[in-house]
């Protein structure tokens, strides 16, 4: 049985990933500072961990690793995201964005690679189309997602000898529970609809397939075509 460690697996995209990998027969370890609000059955293990608390992160990883002989895949889904204007931007927000979105994933990757001895290692960064296009007052988030996109190909080259591929999935607009959507929201997308967590899940499942080792060091954009759409003023 293959094991996947998913950060931020208690809500939204993360929870959808947890349930999908369990359904595919994986052992799943969810590292999150909050536990899911429902019972999850199967080979599932919840490990409490706050990625902002870097000093305790090695202990969190060791606790996660104790649940399995080897972790075969690592999906970085947890994120720190807050809107802030340039005027109100402070170092505390910048530091937390860096720790949760960049430093913690890199350290977890280091420890994952050190324990991995197989031939089908997989790492996925859940980034965002914000790495390529911007929304006002999202500076720390956009900056960190851009850095994660660069980190993806850097790690893929670094870990090539370990038989570990590193890719990213960049979602666009993904609707979450109880989000009110209008017809115009769906029509804005060339695919004709706003995205769902399942769209991100399918991309991750594809990237973690055992035979899929030729897709490497790349970012799979899951946005219904929006980032390729030329938009003119009305």
List active site positions. 141
* Cα 201 to Cα 126: distance, rounded to the nearest angstrom: 10
Tally Cβ neighbours within 10 Å of residue 209.
Answer: 12
- Alpha carbon of 68 to those of 43, 63, 72, 186, 208: distances in Å? 10, 10, 10, 42, 18
* Cα 10 to Cα 5: distance, rounded to the nearest angstrom: 12
Is 17:201 a contact under the CB 8 Å cutoff? yes
Helices 57-65 and 104-115 sit at what angle, rounded to 10 degrees? 40
């Amino acid at each position: 049985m293959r094991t996947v460690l998913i950060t931020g697996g208690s809500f939204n995209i993360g929870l959808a990933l947890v349930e999908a990998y369990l359904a595919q027969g994986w052992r799943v370890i969810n590292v999150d500072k909050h536990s899911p609000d429902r019972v999850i059955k199967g080979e599932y293990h919840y490990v409490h961990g706050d990625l902002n608390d870097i000093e305790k992160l090695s202990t969190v990883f060791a606790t996660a690793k104790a649940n399995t002989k080897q972790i075969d895949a690592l999906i970085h889904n947890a994120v720190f995201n807050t809107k802030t204007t340039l005027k109100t931007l402070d170092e505390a927000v910048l530091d937390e964005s860096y720790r949760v979105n960049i430093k913690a994933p890199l350290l977890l990757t280091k420890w994952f690679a050190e324990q991995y001895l197989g031939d089908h290692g997989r790492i996925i960064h859940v980034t965002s189309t914000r790495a390529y296009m911007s929304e006002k007052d999202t500076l720390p988030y956009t900056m960190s997602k851009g850095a994660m996109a660069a980190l993806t190909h850097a790690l893929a080259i670094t870990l090539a000898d370990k038989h570990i591929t590193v890719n990213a999935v960049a979602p666009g607009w993904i609707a979450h529970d109880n989000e009110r959507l209008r017809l115009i929201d769906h029509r804005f997308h060339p695919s004709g609809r706003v995205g769902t967590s399942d769209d991100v899940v399918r991309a991750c499942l594809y990237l973690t397939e055992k035979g899929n080792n030729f897709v490497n060091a790349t970012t799979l954009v899951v946005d219904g075509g929006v980032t390729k759409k030329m938009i003119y003023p009305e």
